[in-house]
């Protein structure tokens, strides 16, 4: 796609604005924001401790049907998890590979830096000859 514009100043050539028709994938799609629980060994131990100290008989006593008991137990577990395990908001872009962790990305970036440094050193040696 191009748009013809008037000439700049006293130039005898017309200016043309060239705009690409292709929109990159990253700009066409929106990022997804998810809440992720950060499970650690210490938090898991704290959660287990809260479940061990719970008086489960008092939780089951007021309910009469099995569906009420299931709802009560699952809501109590969700309550404990929400209070003990911290959550973190994460933006997920659709062009990211999910298998690449932060540590792996750091290793790949270091490798890329070292290879580009080695390539630049080879070029300098060739130029100096």
Domains identified in the chain, total number = 2
User: Do residue 80 and residue 122 come from a single domain?
Assistant: no
Mean pLDDT across 94-113: 85
The per-residue pLDDT for 49 is 95
Of all residues in the chain, what percent are helix, strand and coil, respectively (each to 5)? 50, 15, 35
Q: What DSSP state is assigned to residue 10?
A: T
Query: Tell me, what's the pLDDT at 69?
Result: 85
In the chain, what percentage of residues exceed pLDDT 70?
91
Are residues 31 and 67 both part of a single domain?
A: yes
Full residue range of the structural domain in which residue 37 is found: 25-96
In terms of domains, do 57 and 111 share one?
Answer: no
Pair (85, 63) in one structural domain: yes
Cα(44)–Cα(28) distance, integer angstroms: 40
Q: Are residues 58 and 101 in the same domain?
A: no
Whether 10 is in a domain gets the answer no
Give dist(CA 94, CA 26) in Å, integer.
7
60 and 40 in a common domain: yes
The residue ranges of DSSP E strands in 1-129, in sequence order, are 2-5, 15-18, 32-37, 87-92
Q: How far is residue 31's CA from residue 33's CA, in Å, rounded to a whole number? A: 6
Q: Is the pLDDT of residue 1 over 60?
A: no
Residue 2 lies in a domain: no
pTM of the model: 0.54
């Amino acid at each position: 796609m191009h748009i013809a514009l008037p000439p700049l100043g006293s130039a005898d050539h017309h200016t043309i604005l060239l705009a690409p028709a292709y929109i990159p994938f990253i700009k066409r799609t929106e990022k997804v924001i998810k809440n992720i629980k950060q499970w650690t060994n210490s938090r898991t131990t704290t959660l287990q401790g809260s479940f061990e100290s719970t008086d489960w008989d008092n939780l089951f006593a007021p309910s009469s049907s099995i569906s009420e008991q299931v709802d009560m137990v699952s809501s109590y577990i969700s309550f404990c998890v929400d209070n003990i395990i911290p959550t973190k908001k994460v933006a997920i872009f659709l062009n990211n590979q999910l298998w690449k962790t932060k540590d792996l990305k750091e290793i790949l970036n270091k490798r890329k830096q070292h290879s580009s440094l080695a390539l630049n050193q080879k070029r300098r040696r060739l130029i100096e000859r």
